[in-house]
Amino acid sequence: MAKSSPKIPADIAKLSFEDALAELENIVQQLEGGDAALEDSIAIYERGTQLKAHCESKLATAKTKVEKISLSADGSVSAKAADLS
């Protein structure tokens, strides 16, 4: 059975990749510190999964936009989707 992506709240959807990644890094530090109560840790973890999904979505969108520019032997320039896999 495929695992569904978490629903991304509007406040996270508005974040840039860089801002979402910075918040996700902060969450990882909080969880690794182990100082939060269990219920707080669960809420923090859930937000982290939403941030992760948002970052993955932003990266997937960027990947489809990246183009590889090539110069042919006759000097003409063309662009095609880059193979980043």
CA distance 46 to 8: 11
Residue 19's pLDDT is: 97
pLDDT band of residue 85 (cuts 50, 70, 90) is low
Q: How many CA atoms lie within 13 A of 39 on its CB side?
A: 0
| Class of the domain covering 10-81 | mainly alpha
Helix boundaries (H) for 1-85: 10-13, 17-33, 38-65
Mean pLDDT, the chain, rounded, equals: 86
Domain ranges within the chain, ordered by starting residue = 10-81
80: three-class secondary structure by DSSP? strand
Over residues 40-70, the pLDDT tens digits come to 999 999 999 999 999 999 998 887 777 666 6
